[in-house]
Amino acid sequence: MNPKPVAFTTGAGRGIGRAVVLELARHGYDIAANDIVFDPADRTRGLLEVQEQAERLGARFLPLPGDVSSLGDQERFIGEILAAFGRIDVLVNNAGIAPAKRIDLLETPPESYDRVMAVNARGAFFLSQRVAREMIKRRESGEAGPLSIIFVTSISAVVSSPSRPEYCVSKAALSQTAALFADRLAGPGINVYEVRPGIIRTGMTEPVKDKYDRLIAEGLVPQGRWGEPEDVAKAVAALATGAFGYSTGAVIEVSGGMNIRRL
């Protein structure tokens, strides 16, 4: 079995997922990384760019192109990871998509709802189920050390945005999924956490940058700045490495204080 712990991160080709991979590589993890966008001829962005950076940090890296909402792809991911490393110590459910177009709640098409839910909620549910079974086998064989599943959700799990309702519903579902897995897996000793980002500077938020610049300037974020992918990654790494070992089910909000109730 691989001597180093192995972290599997979905949606790892850019943004928060990319930052998570590199932070975990810095903490001594070998990396399995998934993304739906993959161009084997392009090493300037996407999984192969992330691979180059992770390997510079001393990690072995397994790229896993594919769609996290596909159960067939999920089975392939698990098979390739176990063949390459023999273990999965951390699963970071980060893959997520926004609606193709922001549109009023009353006009939301079912096709958009179904696609967003398939990736953001359904995919993470069944991938976690599959990985949890492997982790339980590890525990039953006497394996020690921290094993964890981390769900990257969003403040949209608890904050309304009627122009992207399917995204909010998917993140609320993912938040409850994290709680359910935390409850079920506490007995076998597999910790489950939710990391809930606020307004993070990524490709997903770039189209509404001006709006968020204005809201931040008006005081929406108490700490007065955008969040960066690295802010989220540091929280994920702290959880993965066992720093919060007696806190399964915890929700860690990385939002610059947006969780504070203020008058």
pLDDT band at 229 (very low <50, low <70, confident <90, very high): very high
Virtual CA dihedral for 99, 103, 105, 107, nearest 10 degrees?
-110
Q: Which residues are catalytically annotated?
A: 167
| 11 and 17 Cβ atoms separated by less than 8 Å | yes
- pTM of the model as a whole: 0.97
Fold of the CATH domain 6-254: Rossmann fold (3.40.50)
Q: Give the sheet arrangement for strand 30-35, strand by strand.
A: 61-65, 30-35, 6-9, 90-93, 148-152, 191-197, 251-254
Query: Which whole number is the average pLDDT over 235-248?
Result: 98
Q: What is the pLDDT of residue 42?
A: 86
Q: Which residue has the tokens 């596909």?
A: 70
Mean pLDDT for the stretch of residues 210-214:
96
The two three-digit tokens of residue 94, written as one number: 């980060």
